[in-house]
Amino acid sequence: MIPSVLPTYSRAPLSFVKGEGSWLIEADGRRFLDLGAGIAVNALGHAHPALVAALTDQAGKLWHVSNLYTIPQQQALADKLVDASFADTVFFTNSGTESCELAVKMARKYWYDKDQPEKTDIITFEGSFHGRSSAGIAAAGSEKMTKGFGPILPGFIHLPWDDMAALEAAITDTVGAILIEPVQGEGGIRPLPDADMKALRTLCDDNDILLILDEVQCGMGRTGRLFAHEWAGITPDIMMVAKGIGGGFPLGAVLATEEAASGMTAGTHGSTYGGNPLACAVGSAVMDIVSDEAFLDGVRARSGHFRQKLEGLVAAHPDIFDSVRGSGLMLGLKCKRTNIDVVKAGYDNLVITVPAADNVIRLLPPLNLSEEEIDEAINRLDRAAQSLT
Ligand SMILES: Cc1ncc(COP(=O)(O)O)c(C=O)c1O
């Protein structure tokens, strides 16, 4: 008999009942150190006092009104995002995949309105993940994501990861946009080198192509800058955000320049929940903390400490781990043993990590975890590795 919850996930036998900062407490009382943060969602850990205050304060006033009306909390958060980024305008969604839907629509509408309706193709890359909606799976293009769900939304050209020659060869008059994660998450924590990110921007400029960045996983302070593309000193035309922006409350956004967004006029897009008062009150509280330079300095310092310790861990367990990769607190350990076994050994030693492609385990802790918690994480990962030897 089919379970009452549609069985689309392979779930670990863990059931958490409480969260405190970087810790998750299981129903049986065990305390797990959370290096997954809901897959880069709980950017400020669990039950952060400022977020709890923002949520409960707003919950006592007004949860939801339709986007038929002006929503001051939405306006406030949009202003903060515009002030802190390349963007001139923001549309709020509830998830990453909805941000993907809009990014694709925005790019196509842009060229349609510019009397170049043939520029519907969007170049994407092997190993990418942009969500589970029809545009998201078509963008990723892998058999794993698309098999059985045809007909697949047309207009995506799939290229190898980080192969600039293949990219240049794929540019034609029908290409309207390039969509890429500055650091691939599900694909195995693969950062695009800064030089290639710069080259991508130049390629787009030279060929009249919009650059869409998917910062759903790598954005909102995760890499030690508010947005990952800042490391390369470039800006996109359109950017997808979600996960960390709500700190655990479902919220996403598409940020864009005025030019790229020019086709999105009244009636061209909408969302019932997107940007409602409750979500935006929480999002604003997250943004106030995460966009602060001193906070981002701290993320960079902690990530340096973490990375150094992880290098030591790899050196101590050469049969289990191959190498460390990533950017900021978006870190990956490439494993020699099957990554699922390493994640399970972590559970047995009360530390949570997340598997990714390329036999990697992901470490995406709350951005505000302490150095002591990092040291404790290393102890637990060390014990997990020992248990596999
Ligand atoms: C880079 C990236 N884009 C898009 C998504 C989809 O986000 P959501 O699951 O909120 O739809 C994810 C989710 O893991 C992601 O990592």
Instruction: Please state the atom number of ligand 1 nearest to the C-alpha of residue 100.
Output: 4
Q: How confident is the model at residue 308 (pLDDT cuts 50, 70, 90)?
A: very high
The residue whose two tokens read 């043939």 is 118
100 CA distance to ligand 1 centroid (A)? Answer: 9
Distance CA 160, CA 168 (A): 12
Q: What is the pLDDT of residue 262?
A: 98
Closest CA to 39 of 9, 74, 6, 81: 9
Percentage of the chain exceeding pLDDT 70: 100
What mean pLDDT comes out for the span 132-136? 98
pLDDT (tens digit per residue) in 208-233: 999 999 999 999 999 999 999 999 99
pLDDT at 388 (0 to 100): 98
Per-residue pLDDT averaged across 349-355, rounded? 98
Contact 277, 59 (CB under 8 A): no
- Sign of the C-alpha dihedral computed for residues 334, 337, 338 and 344 taken in this order: negative
Q: Which of 39, 36, 28 is nearest to 95 (CA)?
A: 39
Task: Measure the CA–CA gap between 72 and 2, rounded to whole angstroms.
Answer: 44
Centre of ligand 1 to C-alpha 131, Å, is 5
pLDDT in tens, 175-193: 999 999 999 999 999 999 9
Ligand 1 centroid distance, CA of 40 (Å): 10
Exposed / middle / buried, residue 90 (Cβ in 10 Å: 0-12, 13-18, 19+): buried
Read off the pLDDT of residues 26-55 as tens digits, 9 standing for 90 and up. 999 999 999 999 999 999 999 999 999 999
Contact 227, 82 (CB under 8 A): no
Residues with CB under 6 A from ligand 1: 39, 95-97, 129-131, 181, 185-186, 214, 216-217, 242
The whole-number pLDDT of residue 300 equals: 98
Gap from CA of 386 to ligand 1 centroid (Å)? 33
pLDDT the model gives residue 305: 98
Q: Which atom of ligand 1 is nearest to the CA of 133?
A: 11
pTM, 2 dp = 0.98
CB of 129 closer than 8 Å to CB of 187? yes
Predicted local confidence at residue 340, as pLDDT: 98
